[in-house]
């Protein structure tokens, strides 16, 4: 383990909920829950105001509603979250070439590899500057942990939440870890924690005092060795930068869950054709076909099938994706579908054509296949989702607070406005239509500034 605290762990604060609060002035400082809002939905993220009531991620939404009945319950807007995540990750890559994203809102950075930090003072300065840059670019807050290892940096960021920075000074690691519960350490989940508790081991100090041989006896060789090392604050895992993509994939998220099995099959076929075009555009082929299905309750399933060799044949890939879909239960509906190809190569194996059930059929271009796209409210039977961006010709930009019984309630406000007024319309209001999200922070137009300078 290095001597200087130059491993940084960033964790955006209540990311999904914070994005919603930043984009909706009327929700700032209020309890916000993002996730599936139906009777069998699951919480994806809860704001800190909602957590006060005991609401947390992975909790059934029905239970969350009982705990916090007055919270705002919103459907997620993953495209927006992803775009903001891209902005944050770009800031991290300005610090170092070694950035290891863990999710949309979390990453490790090796500051030393980018000459961004080499001691405690420079590491603290880099962390403070990053937090300020994130707020300036996105309007959001992130918590930063700095330490000499990944394990300790993550622990530090947890202690920094929300909107803080914690640096663990070298030499203090053992004293810091000792009183912490064993669940603090990576790889200690509920089952391992219970197993250790039954053996009288509840803190990190207990782990270190139990000794390596006892932990190996209790947990097995690999887990026992690793856990004993971490209890002694030893963690040599490097920050692993994103590698070149090892797969080609496409996916669509649907505004309204798809329930019809035929429709799901047509969507998978369309995605397979899009994936093939992307493969061929890159001059690649692959031998493992992957299907991704996110269900109504946010559970995500992946299924894969490996062929005898690489292919870019649309018939082969369509048939494989269809077979994979047959093994997935879509009862209750799906909100996301994806088709991918991995095991990439720069050649194809022609005899794989025989694997396709419809090998004599001509390739069907995407334009001739049914292309439903993301389901959006239509003029005949519009369906509005809580939190959805909308626009009205008279009232401007707003978001859906709720809908039902032929009515839709909209609050008209923008990220840069004061809390807006609420209006209720018939659900088939002619002027009301879906809209794209607006930027969370003011965008400075360089061209405008130059024009004013030229005019002066």
- Residue 393's nearest CA partner among 429, 444, 442 is 429
Instruction: Give the strands of the sheet with 300-311, arranged side by side.
Output: 247-258, 334-345, 285-295, 300-311
Single out the catalytic residue among 20, 106, 173, 319.
Answer: 106
Please tell me the distance from the alpha carbon of residue 234 to that of residue 213, in angstroms, as a whole number. Answer: 17
Length of the chain: 456
Identify whether 106 is a catalytic site residue.
yes
Which tokens belong to 307?
């062929």
Is residue 44 within 8 Å of 16, Cβ to Cβ?
yes
Active site residues: 106
């Amino acid at each position: 383990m290095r001597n200087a605290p130059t491993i940084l762990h960033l964790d955006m604060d209540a990311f999904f909920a914070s994005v919603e609060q930043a984009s909706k002035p009327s929700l700032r400082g209020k309890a916000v829950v993002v996730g599936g809002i139906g009777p069998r939905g699951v919480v994806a993220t809860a704001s800190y105001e909602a957590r006060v009531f005991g609401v947390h991620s992975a909790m059934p939404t029905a239970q969350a509603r009982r705990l916090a009945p007055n919270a705002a319950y919103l459907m997620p807007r993953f495209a927006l979250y992803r775009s903001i995540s891209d902005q944050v990750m770009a800031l991290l890559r300005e610090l170092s070439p070694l950035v290891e994203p863990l999710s949309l809102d979390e990453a490790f950075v090796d500051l030393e590899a980018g000459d961004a930090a080499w001691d405690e003072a420079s590491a603290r300065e880099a962390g403070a500057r990053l937090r300020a840059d994130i707020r300036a670019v996105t309007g959001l807050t992130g918590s930063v942990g700095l330490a000499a290892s990944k394990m300790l940096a993550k622990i530090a960021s947890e202690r920094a939440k929300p909107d803080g920075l914690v640096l663990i000074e070298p030499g203090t690691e053992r004293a810091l870890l000792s009183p912490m519960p064993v669940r603090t350490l990576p790889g200690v989940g509920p089952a391992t924690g219970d197993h250790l508790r039954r053996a009288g081991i509840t803190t990190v100090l207990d782990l270190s005092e139990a000794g390596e041989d006892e932990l190996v006896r209790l947990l097995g060789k690999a887990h026992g060795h690793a856990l004993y090392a971490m209890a002694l604050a030893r963690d040599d895992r490097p920050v692993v930068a994103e590698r070149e993509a090892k797969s080609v994939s496409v996916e669509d998220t649907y505004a309204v869950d798809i329930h019809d099995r035929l429709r799901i099959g047509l969507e998978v076929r369309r995605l397979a054709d899009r994936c093939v075009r992307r493969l061929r555009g890159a001059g690649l082929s692959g031998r493992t076909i992957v299907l991704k299905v996110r269900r109504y309750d946010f559970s995500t399933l992946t299924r894969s099938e490996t062929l005898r060799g690489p292919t870019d044949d649309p018939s082969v890939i369509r048939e494989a994706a269809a077979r994979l879909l047959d093994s997935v239960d879509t009862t209750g509906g799906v909100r996301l579908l994806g088709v991918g190809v991995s095991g990439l190569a720069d050649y194809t194996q022609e005899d794989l054509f025989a694997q396709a059930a419809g090998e004599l059929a001509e390739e069907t271009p995407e334009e001739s296949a049914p292309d439903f796209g993301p389901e959006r409210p239509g003029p005949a039977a519009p369906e509005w989702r809580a939190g959805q961006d909308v626009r009205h010709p008279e009232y401007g930009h707003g978001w859906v607070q709720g809908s039902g019984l032929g009515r839709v309630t909209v609050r008209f406000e923008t990220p840069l406005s004061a809390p807006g007024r609420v209006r209720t319309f018939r659900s088939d209001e002619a002027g009301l239509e879906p809209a794209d999200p607006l930027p969370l922070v003011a965008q400075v137009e360089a061209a405008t500034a130059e024009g004013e300078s030229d005019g002066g």
